[in-house]
Chains A and B, each alone.
Chain A
């Protein structure tokens, strides 16, 4: 059974700092991996989707990497802004139910 773990559970950084969020999964036979953002009381916003054949994806200030062999993915946020404050979730998606990590609550302080 797939298990997804995210570290740290919470992170507080000053504005402008670069940061890395970590995601690990127990079953490396994943179809792909997806990073989401969730604002308080809101639904999910998909940020990046990495196919199992890819090693990374970039969108603006976000870069996600995937290492299937080690069961790890990272989300790199460059030059963080207060508007980046949210909970970030990783999950293994595809056409099967997603397995989510518990998320990392990020606070970017102006």
Chain B
């Protein structure tokens, strides 16, 4: 099956710094990628939809100036958490749909654990 990678897998940073998370589709092109956030013992919640060549679409309550998304190519989307605070500590997962002849399937990255001290 298709593979989606994320980097880094784990990051610890100081409050006030910015952190960039990369999401790559390794063997297929993805014009759309999705970013999710998961707090402990909670389900995944969609943060934003990343669109190649255009602005990202953010879900209600997600600050676009805080969570910067750049879909630079058909295989790469980045999420930058700016001026991170401890409440931003969470598990961030990206996904990318692979278009098929008869079906679309979403593939998930392994996730990035962000801890803000």
**Which residues of A are at the interface with B, using a C-beta cutoff of 8 A?**
31-32, 34, 36, 41-44, 46, 49, 51, 89, 93-95, 97-103
A94 touches B97 (CB 8 A): yes
The 5 closest A-B pairs by CB, nearest first: A43-B110, A43-B111, A95-B104, A102-B43, A44-B108
Taking chain A's interface residues, is the majority helix, strand, or loop, or is none over half, making it mixed?
loop
Q: Which of the residues A44, A94, A99 comes within 8 Å of B93, measured between beta carbons?
A: A44
Interface of B is mostly: strand
* Chain B: CB-nearest residue to A89: B43
Cβ-closest chain B residue relative to A34 = B106
Which residues of A sit under 8 angstroms from B104, Cβ to Cβ?
31, 93-95
CA distance A95 to B46 in the complex (A): 14
In the bound complex, what is the Cα–Cα distance between A97 and B106 (angstroms)? 9
Shortest CB distance A87–B (Å): 9
Residues 79-117 of B contacting A (Cβ, < 8 Å) = 91, 93, 95, 97, 99, 103-111, 113
User: Is B43 touching A95 in the complex (CB atoms < 8 A)?
Assistant: no
A36, B107: Cα distance in complex, Å: 11
Known: A102-B43, A103-B43. A94 touches B110 (CB 8 A): no
